[in-house]
Amino acid sequence: MRIAFTLVTIKPISFRSTPDLQNATENESMLVKCEADGDPDPNVYWFLNGTTSPEGPRYMVTAKGLYIRNVTLDDRGMYQCRAMQMSPTFADMATKTIQLKVFHKPKWKTPNQTNQELAYGYLSGVVNLTCEAIADPEPQFTWRRNNEVIAPEHHNATVINEPQRSILQLPVHNESAFGEYKCEANNSVGRVERIIILQQGIKPEPPKLVTVGDTKIHTADLHITGLPHEDGIIGYRIQFVIKLPGIQHTWDAPEYQDFMKDTSSGSTSSVFTVIDLLENTEYAVRVASRNAAGLSDFTEELHFRTKSSETNDVTSVYHHFFIYSYAFIMLYMIFLNH
């Protein structure tokens, strides 16, 4: 007696030549590699960020991956290359996740930002000129004046470079500081530039009156009244420092929060809420006005204490431990310096 049977050999799905991280460049074409192997031959389906399937004339699925024409920033993200095997006796599925990064030249961080803008400063003051650009790889910034690179050690200026931002800090000693400054942002993909025209402005007056309003556990309200003729005031800077027992506080490195003034109401008085304060802590506070040219002198300092939480005794104990430990350390350092 003979028995006939069919031997079916199954080869599980595997992915080859498929890096987890792949890079593309904006406006160029790119093959997102994903080669799925198996027997029976798997069918491959693509998903972007776990939901949508890339569709349209720019996308084409090939045996080696997903071909994208004219890559845009919208194409970056997490791709799922999903392979499926189907037969009368067998079914299997496997997914390979691929992160696609898109390199692009710098773009100004503020939408619709022009390549030229005005800035203002006043004599004897300090002005900050700021450039912000997003890019991948990270942008490198260069500042120029009269087509010459501004070197801080030769131009009495300070350049503060941060991720995606550069600040040119200029002391305005005389009228020669006014004029055009060029900011360039560049990386391996490309570059952009813009002109900032620094014009002479007027130093603002400090607020007419500042009073402390309602205080809570982590916040304090300040009532700020400006002068009747302060048309150019656009906001205020509120500085604050902790007053520690037995230690004279300074304003060398205060915390601060900036607020924009509501110009639509027409009122010269506004209430601003300082946040993220420590519980049951005494603070000194002072305020400066801001216009397009910069900050005014600061007001005389005021004092207030935040409220204590009656429902969190443990937090209060740790808070007082921190305050008095800090005070002890400061007194010890003063003792050593003497």
Examine residue 276 and state whether it is found in any structural domain, yes or no. yes
Q: How confident is the model at residue 89 (pLDDT cuts 50, 70, 90)?
A: confident
Residues 81 and 143 in one domain: no
Q: What is the pTM of this model?
A: 0.68
The residue among 149, 167, 200 that closes a domain is 200
Residues 73 and 152 in one domain: no
Residues 236 and 287 sit within 8 Å (Cβ to Cβ): yes
Helix, strand and coil percent figures for the chain, each rounded to 5 = 10, 50, 40
Residues 129 and 99 in one domain: no
Question: Residue 61 belongs to a domain with what CATH number?
Answer: 2.60.40.10
- 139 preceded by a cis bond (ω within 30 of 0): no
**139-167 per-position pLDDT tens digit:** 999 999 999 999 877 668 899 999 999 99
E runs forming strands in 175-219? 179-186, 191-200, 209-215
Examine residue 260 and state whether it is found in any structural domain, yes or no. yes
Backbone angles phi, psi at 123, to 5 degrees: -60, 140
Examine residue 62 and state whether it is found in any structural domain, yes or no. yes
Residues 115 and 132 in one domain: yes
The residue among 200, 219, 236 that closes a domain is 200
Residues 130 and 190 in one domain: yes
The residue among 75, 103, 131 that closes a domain is 103
Residues 235 and 258 sit within 8 Å (Cβ to Cβ): yes
d(CA 26, CA 333): 55
At 39, which helix (H) or strand (E)?
strand 35-39
Residue 46: which domain range? 11-103
Examine residue 6 and state whether it is found in any structural domain, yes or no. no
Given a cut of 90, whether residue 309 has pLDDT beyond it is no
Which residue did the predictor score with more confidence, 7 or 146? Answer: 146
Backbone angles phi, psi at 185, to 5 degrees: -120, 125
